[in-house]
Amino acid sequence: MSENSINMLLDVPVKLSVQLGQTRMSVRKLLKLKKGKLVLLNRLSGESVDVLVNNKLLAKGEITVDSDKINVRISNLYSSKERFQHL
């Protein structure tokens, strides 16, 4: 791939998302959810979160708060080989 081809890819938008955790529940419980109800996730408070690009695992991160904004500090960036193992 030429340098020009790589430069064209640099401006392609991707979806970056952060997954705080997951849970499973029945449709019955889902329909009973109300405002203010807590949904328990499969992670502990303070545990690292998954950082995904286009729904593929890219890194682990830590949630931080700065001036009332929630941020993610990247703590571990997976290599290509490690990302393949997480698929």
Query: pLDDT tens digits for the chain (87 residues)?
Result: 667 777 888 888 999 999 999 999 999 999 999 999 999 999 988 899 999 999 989 999 999 999 999 999 999 998 877 766 665
Helices (H), 10-73: 27-31
Between CA 26 and CA 64 the distance in angstroms is 32
**Given the DSSP bridges, would you call strands 49-53 and 56-66 parallel, antiparallel or unpaired?**
antiparallel
The candidate with the shortest Cα–Cα distance to 72, out of 22, 16, 21, is 16
Between CA 82 and CA 72 the distance in angstroms is 20
Domains of the chain: 46-87 (2.30.330.10)
81's CB contacts (< 8 A; 6+ apart) are: none
What pTM was computed for the model? 0.73
